[in-house]
Structure 1
Amino acid sequence: MNNLKMVEFNDLFHEFKICRQLRYNRQLKVTNLEGKEWTFYYCLGQMVWATGGTHPFRRLRRNITLFCPQINIDNLQPFLANTSLDYWDYYLLENLYQNLKIESQQINAIINSTISEIFFDLAQEVNFKSLSYEYDEKVILEAIITSSTKNIFFQQTQASWNSWSKAGLEGLSPDLAPVIIKPEIIQQRVSPGVYKNLERLINGKYTLCDLAVKMKQSVLSVSRSLLPYIKQGIVALVEVADLPLVKAKIQNNYSSIPRTENPTIPVIACVDDSPQICQMLEKIITSNGMKFIKIEDPLEALPILIENKPDLIFLDLIMPGINGYELCANLRHTSVFAKTPIAILTASNGSFDRVRCNIFGATDFINKPVATDKVMKIVYKYVEFKKTADHPSNFTYCY
């Protein structure tokens, strides 16, 4: 690590060292220029918990899976506190410990892993001097267990960041999810069995941190192994939404139709958590002789869209887990959809939403309720139709 970076780390950790030296009972909130927040909780100068960042739910799911294999995450609902509280995750661990579901060593491992991950998040901030710090004594969390581990997170973070940088990963976040965008190249290089396993894992659903747990490797080794593919444009890194700790299961009903069957017929996709909207669009699209893909779970949208490569995507604005703005931006960061027309579905007719749609990469928008004329106007405008034997004259021009 160069001297400049070492100075920056020392500046970053200065506030934390003060809390430890003065034996604070308070919380320290750190905020960057984009409003992203991390909160650290102290008890008598000992850091007992940290939360916040990009994926707090994913992070806790990962750590419970890693350190508490006996716990079925889908059965955690009875122990789950009000998730509107900043420290809901700490209460969950406390409830599990008090109900003899997890042991003290497991608690300690989860706490240490969580704090280390959050410090690494902070280490990735481009400009440490832009971070703001705020103290608050409203919430004081007592340690669930008395940990023998001292505050060694500063040294751990410096070492982790040094290894990450030396591997050429300095510009990559472990919170990004890899997805294969040129499958034909990888298929030429590996066996069918290996490719099937890669396709199952590198599909835009799992972050680099998630993959490390699934593959039982360090996030450094997983990221380093993918780096050549990323540099060659074979694999892309995309942003993904956080996951709820207990996921509601939504069945995505879509028809995967290989383009080789009839590549002349356009494929239109709709990502909307409303079954009614999907059904209405399906009726309009299919009655006009086109293929339709409906995706009701937005968190599952990216791999389905990559598999089917639609000619036009209708995207709802307000959805659970990830909104239309975020998903649109994620699609634009994937080379497969860099130029694909994306029409935002919105119930609002405000100019503010229209401006935001453009900022996040949307091509157009359509106001709800959907109607045949509005839908087909968008389709005619952006989709190129070719003459076919079945439809020799219906669609002959690109509008």
Structure 2
Amino acid sequence: MNNFGTFTKLRPLSLLRHLSNCSESTCLQVLSSSISWSIYLEQGKITYATHSVEPFDRLERHLRRLSHHVPSIVGEVRVQLRLMFEPDTNTQPVVHHSDNPEELIPPPIPPEYQAICWLVSERYLHSTQAAVLIQELVKEVLESYFLTKQATFTLKDSDYRVPTICKLDVEKIAERCQQKLQNWHSLGPHISSPYQRPYLLMKTTDHQKNLSGIEPQLTEWMKGFSLRHLSVIMNQDEVQLAKTLYPHILNGTILLHEPDPPFDKLPKTFTDFIQASRSVTGSTHTKLVDSEVGSTRTTYSDNSAISASHVATQQRQTPVSPEKKEIQKSTISNNNNLKHEAGTSDTVTPRKVYKIISVDDSPTILKEISRFLEDENFSVVTINDPLKAVMSIIRYKPDLILLDLNMDGMDGYELCRIVRNNSMFKKTPIIMVTGNKGLVDRVKARLVGASGYLTKPFTRADLLKIVFTYLA
């Protein structure tokens, strides 16, 4: 099969339904407003779906949710996944677009899917847990896909067969996606994207009284994170979180900023949604998966989206993994975990003050980092002389370290190696701040013990996101 076309009479959901009636295995590629979607189908069932906007951010969020039920998915494992599988932004595969749709090139197996297969092969997840993870990722991707209005698409027999972990029923997963979109639509026009960023506007005591229904932990994190990211931090359903904030958005106590790039490119949840939602067929509201994640026993309803007979075992159909890595499997200390505590806002324990050290020989960069992290819950120490940094790090015992890669006197690699050799900082996140994200630098940084990368130039959202990744 080698077809192409545009969304005119054949809408996104109609196209997917059409493919569900086909026996061929194919990859549906969709291109709209510089965003590409890839939906993999095998004998009418969805095996995976992804889009080009921050796929590893998406995987990170869903792994963090899963970690509440699966103790093996600790922070060190999630960091290792990104270092091993996240492509260099300058070389990551994209859908080639030209005037001739026949020239659209099918993508390889998505790197984040390879990462999931690696988790299964290394026994951090069993196949049922991986199936639940894939289902949640696919649902999020399809939600944005269903909101596209004008796009080009191509159907190709991909040379890259996605190893099958599970198969998802198109009708049932589409129903759940559309129900979620309807919930978001009910919050419009004031909330039009899960990536909008709430900020607290507190000018008077009255404003503080108006926030009596919101947990103090949530107000502390409303400083640049999107609704979707906040829901992961708080371990809450994202629509329910938005509904909690909605009255305060209406009265002006909470301000909503537009999504940061590249999330601003994704379709809105409010614009012209009613027409798109009319194509949903009515069906019973059954759970997609009736599972106890983390246990050895999982049951499925008869009309589950996941086909139980197609959940792969841990031993088969996984891609060749990279060289096996040594990964610490111990749990993160309580000081580096933010856990949602059930109960009223009066019983929530205040979040600890995190200590961050930033080492850079540029006063401008240090000033920007301090300004971006200006928050009562961050204590920032800036150091402009790398030769004096080691003693300061030992003295302050930071929760996270930011190291510039290229400094006079001692580069970030050497400083990272020295810090890692101290037993106190074996598990302290060390983030390399660099203008280069090449593969050689990435491998070298991993060898000396770096946890991740922050690429210059960076925004406040970029900095907060990496802090969230390693501290929250």
- TM normalised by structure 1 equals 0.55
Residue 209 of structure 1: how far off its partner (Å): 2.0
> Aligned AA for 2:85?
N
Match of 1:104 in 2: 127
Alignment match, 1:74: 76
Structure 1 partner of 2:208: 187
**Offset, 1:48:** 0.9
Check the 8 A contact 2:218/2:234 in 1, yes or no.
no
The match for 2:182 is 162
Q: CA deviation at 1:222?
A: 0.8
For residues 195 and 63 of structure 2, what CA distance do their matches in structure 1 show? 17
Amino acid at match of 1:64: L
- The one-letter code sitting in structure 2 at the alignment partner of 1:72 is V
Using a 3 Å threshold, how does the CA distance of structure 1 residues 204 and 326 change in structure 2: closer, same or farther? closer
Structure 2, unaligned runs of 5 or more: 1-6, 94-109, 264-357, 379-434, 437-452, 462-472
Query: Aligned equivalents of 1:133 and 1:217: distance in 2?
Result: 35
Structure 1 residue aligned with 2:248, among 210, 229, 233? 229
Per-residue CA distance 1:52-87 (angstroms, 9 max, x = gap)? 253422221121122243111333455554322661
Percent identity over paired residues: 16
Counterpart amino acid of 2:244?
S
Contact 2:41 2:47 in 1 (8 A): yes
Cα 1:148–1:22, aligned 2, differ >3 Å: closer, same or farther? Answer: closer
Report the TM-score, using the length of structure 2 for normalisation: 0.48
Equivalent of 1:301 in 354, 358, 372: 372
User: What's the secondary structure of 1:199's corresponding residue?
Assistant: helix
Contact 2:199 2:256 in 1 (8 A): yes
Does 1:276 find its partner at 2:361? yes
Note the 1:175-254 alignment, pairs <5 A: 175-182=195-202, 184=204, 186-190=207-211, 196-205=216-225, 207-238=226-257, 239-240=259-260
Q: Helix, strand or coil: the match of 1:294?
A: helix
**Measured at CA, do residues 10 and 202 of structure 1 come closer, stay the same or move farther in structure 2, by a change above 3 Å?**
farther
Whole-angstrom CA distance in 2 between matches of 1:141 and 1:44: 13
For residues 140 and 14 of structure 1, do their structure 2 counterparts lie closer, same or farther at Cα, with a shift above 3 Å needed?
farther
Preserved contact between residue 9 and residue 123 of structure 1 (Cα < 8 Å): no
- Cα distance in 2, alignment partners of residues 326 and 211 from structure 1: 18
Deviations 1:326-345 (A, max 9, x none): 769xxxxxxxxxxxxxxxxx
Indicate the structure (1 or 2) with the bigger Cα radius of gyration.
1
Cα 1:108/1:169, change in 2 over 3 Å: farther
Cα distance in 2 for residues equivalent to 1:26 and 1:150? 14
1:140 partnered with 2:160: yes
Q: CA deviation at 1:156?
A: 1.6
CA distance in 2, matches of 1:73, 1:144: 26
**Deviation string for 1:87-121 (max 9, x for gaps)?**
11101110111111112221111111111111212
Aligned residue pairs, count: 269
Is contact 1:30-1:39 (8 Å) kept? yes
Task: Give the structure 2 partner of residue 259 of structure 1.
Answer: none
Distance 1:9 1:92, change over 3 A: farther
For each residue in 1:274-299, what CA deviation from the matched residue of structure 2 results, as whole angstroms up to 9, or x when unmatched? 9233x2x49xxxxxxxxxx72338xx
Distance 1:66 1:165, change over 3 A: same
